[in-house]
Each structure stands twice: as structure tokens, then as C-alpha cells.
Amino acid sequence: MSEGDIGRVLNGRYRLSRSLGRGGMGEVWLAVDTALGREVAVKELLLPPSLDEGAQRTWSERSRREASAAARIRHENVVTVHDVFEEDGRPWIVMELVISRSLAEAVRGEGRLDFAEAARIGLGVLRALRAAHAKGVLHRDVKPANVLLGLDGRVVLTDFGIATFVDAPQVTHVGELLGTPGYLAPERAERFATGGGGPAADTPAAAQDGDTPGGAGAAARSRRSDETLGMSGDTVLDPASDLWSLGATLYEMVEGRPPFSRSSPVEVVDAVVNHDPLAPRHAGPLEPVVMGLLRKDPAERMDAKEAEELLIRVVQESLAPTWGGEMPTRPTPGAGGLVGGPGAGAYRAGLGTGHTVTHRSAPRPDAVGGEGGGGPYGSDTAAQGRDARGAGAQDRGAYGPEARDGLDPVDPTWAGDDPGDAPADGTGDRGGLPGGRRRRWRQMRVLLPAVVVLALIAASVPLVKALTGSGSDAFAALREESPTYQAMMQRGYLIIGVKPDQPGLSQKGPDGQYIGFDADIARMIAEDLGFSGRVRFVDVETQGREYRIASGQVDIVVASYTINAERLQLVSFAGPYYVAGQDFLVRRDDQAAKRPEDLAGSRVCVVRESTSAARIREKFPTVQVEERGKYSECVDELRKKNVRGVSTDDTILAGFVAQFPEELRVLGSPFSQEPYGVGLSRGDAALAEAVCTALNRHVENGDWQRAYDATLGRLSLLPPRPPKCAANTGS
């Protein structure tokens, strides 16, 4: 391909726009999916002419495996593969366009990251790996170049080009090992270190996973079989090797260099196998995680569950009690920009980009995606884009259009004089603007944000009158007392966390629109807060909701979010707006499953860190609990007969029955009450009261019932009584 091929349509569907980046074996193009009218990233496999026919076949097969491996995993921290096809005799992979830059670029640009930001990114990568491992996929190339940092705060693991998975056809020949020196776990690098040779970056190098007699390879084989993913050919797939690579990536984030920097690939591999890294100097509370993941012996290496718990603790302890409570400090002249220099203060979430930079903020990237090339000896290409505007599509729901992923991030504007505005001689004639005009421009810069805020408030006055029955300003308390609302007003739109995969409640369609009861409730709240038509939906997971709220990545969460005492220690709620009950989903052909007791001794799937998971273990201790990252993943396991049941709220289960009516059914024996609430920043009583006022109004005027009838009411659930909403601030 060349720039002359811009405009060419591939597979009768994907029109190429421009090249986004090139690596050693691939090039990524920005393209338009003409069937759906959306922008995508298309990866083209580049085969060097020096490769013989057999090597070309091997690389083509690996490209197909990349698509197969990534397509198995549906997770917000894993790049989504839309399509794979062959043209010009080689495979092409169509992926989501991630508006981002790579972690490798971020580390190069900043030198190193603060430990809290490194923990946030590491947590996203770890959750991607746990989702991949749950599907039997071993990534085998975790490194900064393959981690994308989205402008919306999303962390995405990409480039499954050398991944392998259970029962995958063997394409790694004897004597080969794929990966990047310095990020290979010792048990994978050991055979090369003992057998000699010289690997180039991301080219065949040495050995199969953990094959060397003795040392780390033997330790890997000594691990219990239930700790591994299974077999790929003759190779044991041990997730510990991916975790070691994550440890090396965390080390590089906080130190600004890989843990094993040497002058040649051979020396790097030798250091990985035979030497310990220098103790990190800037890891702070992250040091136990970093060094625990970098243990040579896989049997002694920190596991994913412990690592996730420690990373969450580091992230949460680095956050203020409420995310919006501190406004940005005006940068000190000569302090090194907006953030990072002495006296610069912390630029916290939501005031512009809609995502958190916990301590240090990198320069705004114009690079979008994961071009890669960040390793010391290699260059990789991943799904990327360099147009921060995105598609700019509009999502029109029951309560008006919402700005979606195509939003332009709004850079914060600092009010007041810039250090370089006035000339040293006071003549007012510097930079081509006379002093008077320059002063008027500074005044406009100060006044414009205030004018925008006043305009937003003025636009909301008719709504306020409808809400209160008078001309009183119902938003006065919000403006004065709610840091979250202050950030929403300055940003100009509302960010709402929702689930993308719950039929009936909230489901994201192929066109990016969200439909369902939760989605409609979210729009009602936005309308009454003065943000009708100015909503940005963000996908959230069960185990990440508290973190998303506390870190400021979302303003509120409307996502089948059960109010309980444990969560009230971390967030506040407005609710309930619905009361569900926990039940079991089973296959229709499983006639022996009539009551919950019939599932004793059977495998039942739940979502990690959900109230459903805790209650199943308490009420049905004989059930064998299987954990996944999303309910849709549990349903996939049920349909494949890998588990006998799925347990969560009846609303969610009924939605999956509607999706697969010939295959699935609900037992119809609810054994709990699940009050759904709107999650928001802990202690933000003003916002909680405002949300409840909105919800109660929509119950009284019939909007709540109409939304229920159009969504959950079609799923054969018992008709509910609309609950009365109250603020739950935990204090």
C-alpha cells in the first residue's frame, strides 16, 4: 500500500483515509466502515520480501491468530476486533479506533510517571490480562508499546499478534520464541540464554514457554494445573509469564527505563534470567507489586488477584475523598507547565478532558492509538488514530442526543495574566498586539468561561421552574456545594457510567447508541440537571465503578448498581430507582434445574466483586463459583455448557433470556432484594439530593413507568412499584 491508495475500498466495505503508523511487520490505516458509517483502524500485514514462502505463511497465520485471540475477549481494557479478511493474498484486521497514544510514548515524553498514575494504568492492563486468561488466551507481548492510553482515561491492551490460546494450532516452531527482550518472563527467555543465538525484536528468537530443564522453566511446570490456562500444542499456558511482563511494564513506568537495560538483546535476556533488577527508587507504595510480579520463579510470583487488590489500594489511597474538591492551582511561572513543576498543584479529573491524571499530566497528545515501537529493540504497530475529533457522531435516545466518543477534549483555560503577556518595557507592543488589545483579550479569556456557565444556567431556567413550580434557582446549592457539578458546568457536558451489555437495562448497539431502562433513567437525570442533549456515556464494569467515580472519570454511574453498606464507604448513592432480586439463569435443556438447591455442586458463573458473587457464596456454599469480568462472558460460558448457571439480578437475567429465548430461562426463585442506586462522589449530598428530586419528579409525572414499560416491562418480570428515592451519603 502507498499514499496513492488512499480512498481505496477494501473487502467492499472499508475505505482507507490515511496511514496512522508503521511497525516492523504491519501498518495501521484510518478507514471508514461504509456499512456502519464509523471510523475504524485497519491493520495491514507487511511481509519483507526476504521471507521465504514458508515464513510468509507462518506470519500470515500469526496475523489470523491475532484476530482470533483478541476477538475471544470482550472487555473495556482490550482492543475490540471487528473483522478479519484477506485481500492481496494477506490478512487484514479491522479494529476499533482508539483515540489515544501509547504508554511507550507517554514514558518517553515524561521520563517517568507518578506511582499513582502507574497504578491506574497497571490496573487496566491487569484487568485486560485477567479477561484474556479467563478466555484461555496468553498475550505473550505485554509492554508499554502495546498499551494505549485513551484521551477519555481508558487503558487498552492491544497487539495480540503473538498471543496463543488453548487448543490453538501450533505456529511457533521448535527453537523459536516470540516477544521483546526485556519483557519476556525468565521461564520464556531461559532456553535462549542457555542455548545461544541472538533474537531481534519481535522476531523468532529462542524457545517455547518454560521448556528448559531446571530453573524457572521447571518451576513453571511444577505449578498446579488449575493455575494454568491449559495446553497449546505441547506448551503449558501459564498466566504467570504475562504477569511478569506486566511487572516489567510497571517498573518502566515509575523508573523511566526497563528493569533490564543492557547494550544488546543477548545481554538483556541473560540479565532477565540470571540477575535481579535494581530496586526501584520512585515506585513508592507500588514497590511490593512491581517486585512481586518480577520474581524469577513463577511458582513464587505474585498472582493476579493479589496484584489487583494492591493496585486498587494504591489508586484509592492516592485520591482525595471527593474527586472534584480541589480546583486546579494556577501554574507558577517557570514551574514547568500546567502540572508537574513546584507549586503547580494537581490537575484533577473532569476539567477538560473528562479523565483523571492523578498527579502528573503529560502534554496533550496529538498521537492517537498505539503506534508502538517503544521497546528498546523493536517497533510494533497497534490500532491507533491521530485525529482527536473522532467521528463526532450523535447518539439520539429517548431524551435527546448525547455527545459521544467523538467529542473534542476541552483544554482547561487558566484565567489571569500569562507570564509572557506584557512586554518588559511596558510599551504594550509585543507579539504583534498593542497593549490595550492584549489587555482586552486577557479580560475576554477571564470572562468567556463565566459567560458560558451563565448561558448554561439561563438555558436551564424553564426546566428549573417546571421542576420547582416557581422561579427559584434549584441549581444554586449545586453550584455552591457540589464539586462534581462545578466540574460538569466547566466542562460543558455530563459523563455517565453505564453498562454496555445488559439487555433491557443498558445495551450498546452497533451504532454506538445506548438503549434500556438504565439508559433512559440516565437521560432523565441529565435533563433535570440542565444537561439535556449534552451527555457522554462511558462503559463501566462492575468491579471498576467505585474507582471510576472516585477518580473522576465519570460524574455519576447508572449501571444496575446495588446500594449496600460496603459501597457506601467508598461512594454515595441517590436511590433506589428500582428494586431487583437475585436469581439463577440456566439452559432450557437442563430440565433437572428447577430450584436453586438443584444447582448444588454445580459450576455457577458470577461477576467478580459483585454483590451477587458474595451472596452466592453465603447462601449456597456448595455451589462452585466461577468468576468472570462481565455478565455477557458468563452467559457465553453457560451457552457453551462450561457452567450450569449464571447468577445475578433477575432484571439482567431476563434481558439475556429475551436475547436467547430458545436457549435460556430464569428459575424464577429470587432470594434477595437489590436496590439500584445512582452512584456518585462520596459525601456529595447536594448532587445526591438533586438526582433524587429529578427521579421522584419523573416517577410522579409517569416518565419512569413509560420507560419501564418500553424496556424491562417487555421481559416478563413482575410489575414493580416505583420506589421513593432518597440520598444515601453513608454519613
Bridge pairing between strands 81-87 and 26-33? unpaired
Rounded Cα–Cα distance for residues 188 and 276 (Å): 16
pLDDT number for residue 731: 58
Strand partners, 459: none
Percent of the chain with pLDDT over 90: 34
**233: Cβ–Cβ under 8 A, 6 or more apart, which residues?**
168, 169, 170
Q: Within a domain: residue 534?
A: no
For the cut 70, the answer to whether the pLDDT of residue 646 exceeds it is yes
Predicted local distance difference test score (pLDDT) of residue 510: 82
Evaluate whether residue 231 is within a structural domain.
Answer: yes
Locate 603 and state its grid cell. Answer: 459450576
CB atoms closer than 10 angstroms to residue 400 = 16
Q: What secondary structure letter does DSSP report for 407?
A: P
Q: Is 60 exceeded by the pLDDT of residue 593?
A: yes
CA 704 to the chain's CA centroid: 30
Catalytic residue positions, numbered: 141
- Give the residue from 648, 672, 696 where a domain finishes: 672
Q: Please determine, for residue 548, whether its predicted confidence score (pLDDT) is greater than 80.
A: yes
Q: Return the DSSP state at 214.
A: S
Domain containing 653 — which CATH number?
A: 3.40.190.10
CA–CA separation, 168 and 72 (whole Å): 12
Report the alpha-carbon distance of residue 564 to residue 522 in Å, rounded: 20
Would you say 193 and 175 are in contact if contact means Cβ atoms under 8 Å apart?
no
Q: Which of 656, 672, 688 is the last residue of a domain?
A: 672
Predicted pLDDT at 147: 94
What residues contact residue 626 under an 8 Å CB cut-off, 6+ apart? 603, 604, 605, 606, 634, 637, 642, 643
| Residue ending a domain, choose from 341, 366, 391 | 391
Residue 563's pLDDT band (cuts 50, 70, 90): very high
Confidence tier at 365 by pLDDT (50, 70, 90) = very low
Q: Does the pLDDT of residue 687 top 90, yes or no?
A: yes
Q: The cell 429529578 sits on which residue?
A: 694
For residue 242, the enclosing domain spans: 1-319+358-391
Kindly report the average pLDDT of the chain as a whole number: 73
**390: confidence class by pLDDT, cuts 50, 70, 90:** very low
Q: Grid cell 467529542 — which residue? A: 407
Band of pLDDT at residue 585, cut at 50, 70 and 90? very high
This prediction's pTM: 0.51
Cis preceding-peptide flag for 576 (omega within 30 of 0): yes
pLDDT (mean) for 562-567: 90
The DSSP-derived string for 164-209 is EETTPPP-SPTT---S-TTTS-HHHHHHHHHH---PPTTS--S--T
**489-522: pLDDT as tens digits:** 999 999 999 998 888 999 988 888 899 999 999 9
Whether residue 36 is contained in a domain is answered as yes
pLDDT surpassing 90 at residue 676? yes
Range with the poorest average pLDDT among 256-265, 291-300, 302-311? 256-265
Cβ atoms < 10 Å from Cβ of 329: 15
Residue 4 domain flag = yes
396 contacts: CB under 8 Å, gap ≥ 6: 402, 513
283 neighbors 255 (Cβ within 8 angstroms): yes
Query: What pLDDT shows up at residue 135?
Result: 80
Q: Which residues of 370-396 are buried (b: 16+ CB within 10 A; e: fewer)?
A: bbbbbbbebbbbbbbbbbbebbebebe
Domain count, the chain: 2
Q: 605 pLDDT exceeds 90?
A: yes
Is residue 97 domain-resident? yes
The C-alpha atoms of residue 166 and residue 68 are separated, in whole angstroms, by 12
Greater model confidence, 558 or 722: 558
Task: Flag whether pLDDT at 190 surpasses 90.
Answer: no
The pLDDT score that the predictor gives to residue 404 is: 33
Share of the chain above pLDDT 70, in %: 65
* Residue 530: pLDDT band with limits 50, 70, 90: very high
What pLDDT is attached to residue 204?
A: 32
State residue 327's pLDDT score.
30
- Asked whether residue 307 is domain-assigned, the answer is yes
pLDDT band of residue 48 (cuts 50, 70, 90) is: low
| Confidence (pLDDT) at 409 | 32
Of 183-187, 349-353, 420-424, highest mean pLDDT: 183-187
Mean predicted confidence (pLDDT) in 600-620: 88
**Do 363 and 109 form a contact (C-beta atoms < 8 A)?**
yes
Report DSSP state, residue 322. S
Average pLDDT over residues 638-660: 92
Q: What's residue 187's pLDDT?
A: 85
pLDDT of residue 143: 93
* Strand partners for 625: 604
Over 50: is that where the pLDDT of 351 sits?
A: no
CATH number at residue 7: 1.10.510.10
